[in-house]
Structure 1
Amino acid sequence: MAGRRLPPSPVTKIMELDPRFAQSLVDIVAAELNKNVNITDNHGVIIASFSKERVSHIHEAAARMLISGPIREFSVTAEQEMQLKGVRQGFNVPIMTGAGCVGVIGVSGAPDTAAPYARLAAKFVEAALESNARQEKLVRALKEKEELQSILLNKMISVQEEERKKISRELHDETSQALTSIIVGLRVLSEHVHSESEREKILAMRDLAVKTLEDVHHLAVQLRPALLDDLGLVAAAQKYVENYSRQYSITVDLNVVNLSRQRFLPEIEITLYRILQEALTNIAKHAKATQVRVLLKKQRDKLVLTIKDNGIGFDDDILNGVGSDTCLGIHGMHERIALLSGEFYIDSAPGKGTVITVEIPLDRRKKTESGLGQAH
């Protein structure tokens, strides 16, 4: 019959034993010693036992020692087994950790005979707990390191996007206006000279300024398209694909499903835009493709971007390297997607083209100190 659960000792709270972990230790110790073994928690409640029916019973002798007396080893005689609830004849040893006593382990049998086995069992359990605690500490440290790396990467991308936006605006508002003024001035000047050769020189300079203005405009769009901020991902993607096809003579079929002018979180929009930009740039540089299919769709609670080309492809093993621009670009995509708890897949084979798939959830985001949305 199970005893009444006793109140905890009025001391500083310490680590509690996990019952499943304790039971696994009992099974190991009992098998090795060929003895009946049980473990109580730091209140004297049996949480693991070779005799499973004893689990959740109060070990009255352990409970009394833990609550009222000094932490110590103790034996249970045959007479005490008859008098106290939940106890058996044997020897019991406190389980000690750096925080204090976390429970008691007992080995049944004649106390003098059981004592060395109980002490050995306690040492084993304490070593297992210490090892488990070290492992948990390492796991926590690794998790904290990963979270810190994520925060730092997030901040870096945020600062980078803000700087891109600033430079893009300066190029568009200041540099472009200055070049436009020069172009107009050169045109006016060409109409006031009398020498044909001088006029041709001035007009040649004007044509060079026009070409420079076009390059500046293209650079500003590459750095940060105004459409992305003003009209959103779909409009920016459509414009980028249009300019890309014209620049590289590669046919790009953009298919948008379940989307129109819907807006999403700024960090999601800029991430998908950068993925599209990086993937198409890699295709132009390395794939030797003539056709690209881009699918952007909303699928339930996530956005899916798929980019498929008919290029030369590559061996997936190349992704393990870090020496090529392609690999660096792919790793950069993966890092951006990971910040949003997204998924990144790439499928390629020599001669069979490449398929990149990105999935970003809309209803859950990785919590970090600073969101990419600060770049907007």
Structure 2
Amino acid sequence: MDIQEKMTRRIQDDEGKNRRELLYELRLQRLENLRMREQLGRAPEDFEARRELQYLENIALFEEARRNADNLDDMMDSLLGVIRSIFQCDQAWLMYPCDPDDPHWHVPYRSTSAEHPIPMARDQLMPTTPDLAENSRLALKKQKPVPLGEESVVKDIPEAARKAAAKSALLIALYPKTGKPWLMGLHQCAVPRYWTDEEKQMFQDLSGRISDNLSATLFYRDLEQNQERLKHLSSKLFQAREDERKRIAEEIHDELAQPVLAVKMGVENALYLLDDDAPEALQRSLESATKLTQEVVTKMRSMQTSLYPPTLRDFGVITALCGFMADFANIYTTLSVYKDIAVQEEDIPEHLRVEVFRLAQEALYNAGKHSQADTVTVGLKRENSRLMLEIKDTGVGFDPATTIRYPARRLGLGLTSMMERTEMSGGTLEIDSNPGCGTTIRASWKLDSIPVE
């Protein structure tokens, strides 16, 4: 059984290993086979075999550059460094866009020798001259690399390339899976260079790998930008919701609670003014109306507190949180509520106070409705320049991953909202729970890095 068959069987047998890693090893083994053939005097004579050997060697260099890169931008620069090393040229770069009708262009990715840097910043927009527009047209028209310079029969290099000290160039259009085409180029700066057919073919072969990696880079960059936009919109949504809650709470207090309270006082006054010989039915009716209006006032105050407690606005988050915990304990009488608050109001940034209150409120509601716990403890402290909020219960617990991913009950939706709220305010949320082991929810914010609107 030869080495290729062994590697193929290994792919089939080792299902747990990453497919990309195994394919990479297979390429390396194929490269080693070709090198052994050369050492044994059976080196491939034909162009296609040499091309395959060079391609495999270059792919091995590409994979190594990918592995060693810390981020996508560094990866693209590293891959261009491999290209520059393969062709022994002074500059390798990617220009965007390869569009003769676009008024500007820039070179976000590049690899250059120390002697011949590209004299423009990565994000610096340059005007599209007629010469550069013609280069883009040539690259888009031809499916093969376009050589430029004194040794070329196509055309001389453009003025922008001369400013980068280039004497010869080799260009090819790239077509990533998103956005406009790009232009990849090589510059030879020290002396003019004639690009051989073999070099052009190799450049074309490698351009596909660069295009694939560029597609991945652009995809993840778009994904990151979309996530940032979504994060910003979510933050605005949370703020709009808080503003609306505050508005409704104020309207309940001003437009509903006060008139109902006046009605209650009027009924009580009428009851007080009744004569001793007033009909008993009238007295019972007034007493019933008094009780009903009191219940309405109590309900509206509860709604107002739930929407936006006045104490949060007037006295701060600690007072509001303590008041809510007292009301919560009166509602869930089978649950003992404890507090462990070790901070002062001034220790909590003003723009974070609503977030702390809402997270504690939602966590307590979840504990009261779902945990079946005997006790729940709310802790708030400052530790190592971080503000820490912890809600811990002794209930039945749950599987956080399953509950958040498949929120069949409101619990899952509440946890998702809590995670989003914490992240939008610059913090992190941890949920520690297992079935039968209770639940601990921890939210923390680094105080010197909390975003301020």
Q: TM-score, normalised by structure 1?
A: 0.73
Contact 1:95 1:125 in 2 (8 A): no
Amino acid in the other structure paired with 1:255:
D
Contact 1:47 1:56 in 2 (8 A): no
SS at match of 1:39: coil
Q: Per-residue displacement from partner, 1:70-120 (whole Å, max 9, x unpaired)?
A: 824949xxxxxxxxxxxxxxxx861434565632489xxxx8xx8233112
Determine the structure 2 residue equivalent to 1:41: 91
Could you tell me which of 214, 229, 235 is aligned with 2:298? 214
Determine the structure 2 residue equivalent to 1:297: 381
Q: Distance in 1 between matches of 2:403 and 2:242?
A: 29
Change (3 A) 1:57 1:164: closer
- Is 1:321 the counterpart of 2:406 in the alignment? yes
- Is 1:102 the counterpart of 2:178 in the alignment? no
SS at match of 1:352: coil
Could you tell me which of 134, 137, 146 is aligned with 2:215? 134
Change (3 A) 1:130 1:277: same
Change (3 A) 1:287 1:72: same
Change (3 A) 1:216 1:263: farther
* Identity across matched positions, percent: 23
Q: Distance in 1 between matches of 2:74 and 2:185?
A: 6
Number of paired residues?
306
Q: Distance in 2 between matches of 1:361 and 1:58?
A: 44
Q: Distance in 2 between matches of 1:19 and 1:336?
A: 37
- My pick for the range that moved more, 114-123 or 243-252, is 114-123
User: Following TM superposition, by how much is the alpha carbon of 1:331 offset from its aligned partner in structure 2, in angstroms?
Assistant: 0.3
Change (3 A) 1:73 1:308: farther
Q: Distance in 2 between matches of 1:353 and 1:101?
A: 58
SS at match of 2:148: coil
User: Following TM superposition, by how much is the alpha carbon of 1:57 offset from its aligned partner in structure 2, in angstroms?
Assistant: 5.3
Determine the structure 1 residue equivalent to 2:267: 186
Amino acid in the other structure paired with 1:213:
V
Determine the structure 2 residue equivalent to 1:278: 362
User: Following TM superposition, by how much is the alpha carbon of 1:135 offset from its aligned partner in structure 2, in angstroms?
Assistant: 2.5
Larger relative contact order (CA 8 Å, sep ≥ 6): 1
Could you tell me which of 76, 82, 103 is aligned with 1:24? 82
Amino acid in the other structure paired with 1:274:
R
Contact 2:84 2:186 in 1 (8 A): no
Could you tell me which of 138, 144, 148 is aligned with 2:229? 148
Runs of 4+ in 1 over 3 A off after TM superposition: 15-19, 23-27, 55-59, 72-75, 95-102, 263-267
- My pick for the range that moved more, 170-179 or 303-312, is 170-179
Report matched runs for 1:1-376 at 5 Å.
Answer: 20-25=78-83, 37-41=87-91, 56=114, 71-72=148-149, 74=151, 94-97=170-173, 100=183, 102-104=185-187, 115-193=196-274, 194-249=278-333, 250-257=335-342, 259-262=343-346, 264-316=348-400, 317-366=402-451, 371=453
User: Following TM superposition, by how much is the alpha carbon of 1:318 offset from its aligned partner in structure 2, in angstroms?
Assistant: 2.5
Contact 2:169 2:185 in 1 (8 A): no
SS at match of 1:262: helix
Q: Distance in 2 between matches of 1:185 and 1:99?
A: 79
Q: Per-residue displacement from partner, 1:211-268 (whole Å, max 9, x unpaired)?
A: 11111111101100112122222111111111111211121111112x1221644441
User: Following TM superposition, by how much is the alpha carbon of 1:18 offset from its aligned partner in structure 2, in angstroms?
Assistant: 6.0
SS at match of 1:304: strand
Q: Distance in 2 between matches of 1:325 and 1:339?
A: 21
Q: Distance in 2 between matches of 1:105 and 1:121?
A: 17
- My pick for the range that moved more, 206-215 or 144-153, is 144-153
Change (3 A) 1:19 1:197: closer
Q: Distance in 2 between matches of 1:179 and 1:16?
A: 67
Q: Distance in 2 between matches of 1:155 and 1:135?
A: 30
In structure 2, the gaps of 5 or more residues are 1-72, 94-109, 118-131, 133-146, 153-167, 174-180
Change (3 A) 1:40 1:289: same
Q: Per-residue displacement from partner, 1:125-175 (whole Å, max 9, x unpaired)?
A: 433333333233222321221122122212221221111101111212332
In structure 1, the gaps of 5 or more residues are 1-14, 31-36, 49-54, 60-65, 76-91, 372-376
Q: Distance in 1 between matches of 2:240 and 2:116?
A: 60
User: Following TM superposition, by how much is the alpha carbon of 1:366 offset from its aligned partner in structure 2, in angstroms?
Assistant: 4.9
Q: Distance in 1 between matches of 2:426 and 2:259?
A: 43
Q: Distance in 1 between matches of 2:82 and 2:424?
A: 38
User: Following TM superposition, by how much is the alpha carbon of 1:328 offset from its aligned partner in structure 2, in angstroms?
Assistant: 0.3
Q: Distance in 1 between matches of 2:443 and 2:239?
A: 20
Q: TM-score, normalised by structure 2?
A: 0.61
- My pick for the range that moved more, 180-189 or 149-158, is 149-158
Q: Distance in 1 between matches of 2:412 and 2:349?
A: 28
User: Following TM superposition, by how much is the alpha carbon of 1:58 offset from its aligned partner in structure 2, in angstroms?
Assistant: 6.1
Contact 2:348 2:387 in 1 (8 A): no
Amino acid in the other structure paired with 1:147:
E
SS at match of 1:363: helix
